[in-house]
Amino acid sequence: AQSVTQLGSHVSVSEGALVLLRCNYSSSVPPYLFWYVQYPNQGLQLLLKYTSAATLVKGINGFEAEFKKSETSFHLTKPSAHMSDAAEYFCAVSVNAGGTSYGKLTFGQGTILTVHP
Amino acid sequence: EPEVTQTPSHQVTQMGQEVILRCVPISNHLYFYWYRQILGQKVEFLVSFYNNEISEKSEIFDDQFSVERPDGSNFTLKIRSTKLEDSAMYFCASSEALWRLKAFFGQGTRLTVV
């Protein structure tokens, strides 16, 4: 079975500072990895995904993530935080175990990002 | 961008009552999901649905739960006899095709069982 661990339930940065949200995964087969963002009173929105092509994945709003198999990590970064980035971020994994199971996502516990002026 | 819509946004129900959570997936999507998030815990997969039948379900999805796509546009989650521990945020999601690896989520229904 696959699992995801997000290190840090809360991360606080200053506007303009680097954003780094950590995610480690566990999977017995090659995973697909995702970052979702949830703004207040909204649904989960896909930021980016890794699907076994390039290990550095670029997403929306200037975010990117790097798949590191040796470290079983998929950390999310953004060079310069904006106030509008304040939200909750979820890392998730799915695996192609046959049939429709790779439609199912297993989530981490989420990281709340706060951006200070 | 098209949206998945969930109603109601918040529902309060008494323990033992039946509740139906409603979702309108994106119109050309074929795969449908329910997830839940108990306060302070992870978002958990409940069930996936394709071609008018359940394709996968978690151990959480016991006989108290059922899903239905009654009219080709709505996708519902029914909890027959709610328990206090069913209190959670319930998310509906839909996907056009599995190979796209992109699920669209609704804004959630917060269910409170009292």
pLDDT digits (tens, 9 = 90+) for A33-46: 999 999 987 889 99
- Taking residue B79's Cβ as centre, other Cβ atoms within 10 Å add up to 19
B residues 14-33 closer than 8 Å to A (CB)? 31, 33
- The amino acid at A98: G
Residue of A32, A67, A104, A112 to mutate for B, most B C-beta atoms under 10 A: A104
Q: What residues in A contact B35, CB-CB < 8 Å?
A: 105, 107
What confidence score (pLDDT) does residue B81 get? Answer: 95
Distance from CA of A80 to the nearest CA of B (A): 26
Q: List the one residue out of A38, A56, A59, A39 whose CA is nearest residue A48.
A: A59
Q: List the one residue out of A111, A96, A106, A112 whose CA is nearest residue A4.
A: A106
Least confident of A63-77, A92-106, B40-54: A92-106
For A11-31, the pLDDT digits (tens) are 999 999 999 999 999 988 888
What confidence score (pLDDT) does residue A28 get? Answer: 82
Q: Does B107 touch chain A (CB under 8 A)?
A: yes
The DSSP call for residue B98 is G
Question: How many CB contacts within 8 angstroms connect chain A with chain B?
Answer: 66
What confidence score (pLDDT) does residue A93 get? Answer: 93
* Backbone torsions φ then ψ of B50, nearest 5 degrees: -150, 140
Residues B16-44, mean pLDDT to the nearest whole number: 94
Q: List the one residue out of A18, A4, A17, A37 whose CA is nearest residue A105.
A: A4
For B36-79, the pLDDT digits (tens) are 999 988 999 999 999 899 999 999 999 999 999 988 889 999 99
- In 3-state terms, what secondary structure has residue A37? strand
Q: List the one residue out of B6, B87, B92, B78 whose CA is nearest residue B48.
A: B92
The DSSP call for residue A72 is T
